[in-house]
Amino acid sequence: MPATTTDTLASIAVSTLRGVGPKTLERLERIGVTNVQDLLFHLPIRYEDRTRIIPIGSLRIHQHALFEGEVRASGIGGGRRRDQASARESYPKSRKAGSRSGHDDGRNG
């Protein structure tokens, strides 16, 4: 029975990779990465999918998302929240991409 790709990747030690010296190997072993398969499946704690664009109207408070829109106004004011911006859905002629952490300043628009 032929070996599958995952069997092959699991059998390759990360120490055989170019650029992985003793210090890097020690760090990788500390987080449980000992072979190439472990390395490929090691994802960041807070992985953000930046391939899906969410309509602004669908965003929820505290949601991390990628959206497209057109900045209509921005300014700096006094008080606790100094930076403010107003945006709307973009049109194909002027597309801007950004991300939003979902903080709500209590205003609609």
Q: How far apart are CA 90 and CA 93, in angstroms?
A: 8
- Between the CA of residue 72 and those of 6, 69, 85, 99, 101, what are the distances in Å? 50, 9, 8, 16, 19
Of residues 6 and 57, more confidence is placed in 57
**In this predicted model, what pLDDT tens digit does every residue of 57-91 receive, in sequence order?**
888 888 888 888 888 887 776 666 666 666 677 65
Going along 1-109, which residue ranges are E strands? Answer: 65-68, 70-76, 83-88, 97-100
Q: How far apart are CA 70 and CA 88, in angstroms?
A: 6
Q: Are 87 and 105 in contact (CB under 8 A)?
A: no
